[in-house]
Chain A
Amino acid sequence: MSLLVELVLLSLSTILVNNFVLVKFLGICPFLGVSKKVETAVGMSLAVTFVMTVASACTYLVQVFLLDALGIGYMQTVAFILVIAVLVQFVEMVIQKFSPSLYNALGIYLPLITTNCAVLGVALLNVQEQYDFIHSVVFGFSGGISFMLAIVLFAGVRERLETSDIPKPLQGFPIALITAGLIAMAFLGFQGLKF
């Protein structure tokens, strides 16, 4: 199988079959917290995609050239948290300086991602699956896209829930959680897909 086909299959399976939010249950906090409006959901997921892609690349380099080289691969969780936190801060500063418009669109969401488990998850999964550099980056990017797909779909549903007649005990978060569960069950339909 050529590399390109392999990468396309990897990203498709990450987005649909192994969706980060709805199947792996990573990044649930922003999924519930920032999904009241489609607009903010898109902003948040763009920021997540961006950080996940860059974080996969950086953590891969750290893993291979630092941790593996010194034989301390077991320190990956701590090291990755450090790398991701610094990375997010750094990216935020750079964006603020060079692209105020992008900063206005993503800026408020960036600090939220520092401790997002989807970002740490993608870094750790890269190591677990023993992906090489290209695979890691593609996996990170499509992980971000899978997050975007889930949160934008969810925000669309929640916007419509706003105006529907919901029984009182279920208003607010209960109905949101039920909706999330139903969407996750819908994504179970992709489980049978075989490439």
Chain B
Amino acid sequence: MEIIIPVIVLGVMGLVFGALLGVAAKAFRVEKDERIEQVQELLAGANCGGCGYAGCSAFAEAVVAGKANPSACPSTKKENIHQIAEIMGVSVEDGEKMVAKVLCSGTCDKTSVKYQYDGITDCVAVYRFGGGEKTCLYGCTGYGSCVRACLFDAIHVIDGVAHVDRDKCTGCGACVSTCPKRIIELVPAKQRTFVVCRSKEKGVVIKDICQAGCIGCKICEKNCPKDAIHVVDNIAKIDYDKCVNCGICASKCPRHVIEFKKRGEE
């Protein structure tokens, strides 16, 4: 007999509370567009911020509200973007796929250091001490702030210089804005020729501090059949719209600063 009272009381409590919550759910329901959830499920879900919104859910809301185009997300697969466009009834153009590229090849054996750095392993921190420990002011510090910024495990520091894994890179640009030296750039994924140096130092200076630096000799400029590479401020720069990836500049470069990979090698 003793057990019956608590059973009844708790049972009734449960029932009353359940009913209360049921009524409350109806009474306090907030109208939410169900498309927001659908869109969010199709997004990459990395919250990388490449779209410029606070995260995937904020971006989904903006898409449903018509404030953003689904193609603004660099990380989501193309099929999913098209599905989102279908849900929303908008058209999307396929933007050119971009990937990040680190424009420095000054590995530990090719460059020298000004001093021994022994502090926080963070590029911004080391950059504050005279522009970094490497002698070259423009080179990769190798302390991996970009590695920690990458949500896709697509960038790694190898031998003192960051390298992008192009298969994993989604082109969100998180590393580009993290790098204190601004040597990471978003490039078209089909591009296979790069000047892997950003130094604006004169050739004489470069020869002393880095074996892998561009000296601005203009040999590439003279040999380019498409007028796609130019030396400005002592550094060669490729115009990716004009470049046809023929690889002539790479073979002529006396400093081997131009990286060229044949199709399928990248």
Contacts and interface: CB of A to CB of B under 8 A. Distances in A.
B1 interface: no
Interface in A147-172: 163-165
Interface stretch (B9-17, B101-109, B162-170, B236-244): B9-17
Nearest to B8: A70
Contacts, number: 47
Given A96-B28, A97-B28, A72 B6 contact: yes
Contacts of A96: 28, 30
A79 B13 CA distance: 8
Nearest to A71: B5
A90 B9 contact: no
Which secondary structure dominates chain A's binding surface?
helix
A86 B125 CA distance: 49
A93 interface: yes
B204 interface: no
Interface in B111-166: 119-120, 122, 125
B9 A89 contact: no
A136 to B, nearest CB: 19
Contacts of A193: none
Interface residues of A, number: 21
Given A94-B28, A96-B30, A82 B10 contact: yes
Interface residues of B, number: 18
Contacts of A83: 13, 17
B232 interface: no
A4 interface: no
Nearest to B120: A163
B169 to A, nearest CB: 26
Contacts of A89: 21
Interface string A72-104: 100100110011001001100110111000000
A108 to B, nearest CB: 11
Contacts of A97: 28-30
Contact of B24 (A66, A79, A90): A90
A89 B18 CA distance: 11
Contact of B20 (A66, A71, A90, A165): A90
A86 B28 contact: no
Interface string A122-165: 00000000000000000000000000000000000000000111
B21 A86 contact: yes
B9 A72 contact: yes
Nearest to B122: A163
Interface in A44-69: 66-67
10 contacts: A71-B5, A72-B5, A72-B6, A78-B10, A79-B13, A82-B14, A83-B17, A90-B21, A93-B28, A97-B30
Q: Sort A-B residue pairs by CB-CB distance and give the 3 closest, nearest first.
A: A97-B28, A86-B17, A93-B28
Interface of A: 66-67, 70-72, 75, 78-79, 82-83, 86, 89-90, 93-94, 96-98, 163-165
Interface of B: 5-6, 9-10, 13-14, 17, 20-21, 24-25, 28-30, 119-120, 122, 125
